[in-house]
Amino acid sequence: MSALTQKTIRGSLLRWLLIPAWVLGLLGLVSSLLLHNLSHSEHLTRHSLDDLCHLGQLYSAETPLPKMLEQLELTSTLLARSGGHDTRFRFNTLPTLISLGGPPLPIPDDAEHVGKGNCQIRIHTSWDASGRQQIASLLMPPQDGSDKSLLIQSVRPLHPIDLRILDLGMQMALTTTVTAILFSLIVFFGVRRGLRPLTSLVAAIRQLDSSQSGRIHVDHAPLEIRCIENTLNKQLERISQQVQRERSFLNDAAHQLRTPIAGILNQSELALTEQDPAQVRQRLEHIVQASERSAMLIHQLLALSRGYEAGSLGMVLFDLPELARKVALQWVGPAADIGIELSYEGEDNALYRGSPELLREALHNLLDNVLRHARACTEVVVSVHQTGAPDQRQLILEVRDNGQGLQESQLPYLFDRFWTGDESQGNGIGLALVQQIVQAHQGQVHAELGQPQGLTIRLLLPMNDSQPARRS
């Protein structure tokens, strides 16, 4: 998308503020002109009607016609001068035509009727050579002693008024335009100043080096920008910590893989120099064992780096004690080979919603850890039992032994990545993976020393049967 078509907050604010302002200003200008024209026209019309009514009151049958017309002409002249407008009057007697000021002007049928009582006036607009004009006509009926009616008409040119209205409109348009321009400038600079903290925030974000940690700071930022700044800084801190953890993980993983790979390489070189088939076979067995340890290490490293989220575990309803018995049965033979007695005790049936594959992996890691560190004549017990109130039930998957155990000072580090109590055994990944799996099930893992010796590891798994389930 080009820069010309991209929408910006500034552009949106200016459009929403300036366009309505200009539209309202234009509507105000038009309305003002219409109101002024209407009020001015009504003012002049009212004066014309008042003048005609006043002239009509002078009409009297007792006054000789020549003298009455003379009075009407004189009065109309005075009225025109006092009103300050260019109005001409015409007086015509009917049916015998006696004209003063010009012949009568035709009155259209659709002329507007105004006035009250004896002063009924008809008003219409016509055009002549000089332009638009307003004609008001008052017909005085015959009075007693007379057979003539009197038609009084006032003719008022409208083009001077139109010119004044146009001039006024131009003045108002100029004033409105100047006001609109000043308003637009104020809005523009106001919006620009108001968005300055946001612009500074964008600039600070762009200056961040993605390969390094950093913080965003905007001087004199308002509350909204300050909240965004704090949120971004928290996210940057989390990202920085995650990057550091990933770097540490990669370094530790490389260190853990270096030992078995070096062993494989060393045994391979020795096997190439051996002449005795038995020694060659022995070297190959060492290579196989080291390869198996490397494969398991890589599997655990991948699982540990992958991480797990509760929504991605593929939760199903399954029998946890049955799973624990099957895993324990798989380790009975290897345990007996090194003089360890392995058994299962606890509940026979207990449905649990979770990932059977991951919990199987966790139990395998627990038993592998026990067998690698336990001595002969050690007893290892795998158990599953239920505890807690009906609304807070949880299953406890437990592995305990009566072996040599650990020192109490070592317990806080038992589930740390790559920590081993005995540098000669293990890689410090198995128990860390167990903790990660349990936490993905919203559970907890605890370890405690036995009395007088031994070690017990408990997986506390909360039960939730409120959701629909399917049996695995």
Interval 1-14: pLDDT, tens:
444 445 666 666 77
Give me the long-range contacts of 447-450 (CB less than 8 A, separation at least 24).
Answer: 447/411, 447/414, 447/415, 448/411, 449/405, 449/406, 449/408, 449/411, 450/400, 450/401, 450/402, 450/405
pTM (predicted TM-score): 0.45
Q: Are 92 and 103 in contact (CB under 8 A)?
A: yes
Q: What is the pLDDT of residue 5?
A: 45
- Is the pLDDT score of 265 beyond 80? yes
* C-alpha torsion angle, residues 106, 109, 112, 115 (rounded to 10): 80
Q: pLDDT at position 1, please?
A: 42
119-139 confidence digits (pLDDT tens): 888 888 888 777 788 888 888
Q: Please state, in angstroms and rounded to a whole number, the distance separating the CA atoms of residues 470 and 316.
A: 6
163 pLDDT higher than 70: no
Instruction: State the pLDDT confidence band at 424, using cuts at 50, 70 and 90.
Output: very low
Measured in whole angstroms, the distance separating CA 461 from the mean position of its chain's CA atoms is 38
What dihedral do alpha carbons 193, 194, 197, 202 form, nearest 10°? Answer: -90
**Close Cβ partners of 124 (under 8 Å, ≥ 6 residues apart):** 107, 108, 110, 111, 112, 134, 135
- Determine phi and psi for 152, rounding to 5 degrees: -110, 125
The answer to whether 274 touches 283, Cβ cutoff 8 Å, is yes
**223-273 and 196-206 helices cross at what angle (nearest 10)?**
10
For residues 179 and 25, the answer to whether their CB atoms sit within 8 Å is yes
pLDDT, tens only, 289-306: 778 767 766 766 666 566
DSSP 408: G
With 50 as the cut, is the pLDDT of residue 447 above it? yes
Q: What are phi and psi of 231, to 5 degrees?
A: -65, -45
- Which of 110, 160, 104 has its CA nearest to residue 137? 104
Query: Please, what is the average pLDDT of the chain?
Result: 76
Is the distance from CB of 372 to CB of 338 less than 8 angstroms?
A: no
Distance of CA 269 to the CA centre of its chain: 64
Number of other residues whose CB lies within 10 A of the CB of residue 32: 14
In the DSSP assignment, the letter for residue 143 is P
Angle at 324 between CA 380 and CA 360, to 5 degrees: 110
Share of the chain above pLDDT 70, in %: 74
For residues 434-449, average pLDDT: 88
| Better pLDDT: 33 or 367 | 367
Q: Which structural domains are found in the chain, ordered by start?
A: 9-166 (3.30.450), 223-305 (1.10.287.130), 307-462 (3.30.565.10)
Whether residue 84 has pLDDT greater than 60: no
pLDDT at position 468: 38
> What gap in Å lies between CA 50 and CA 154, rounded to an integer?
11
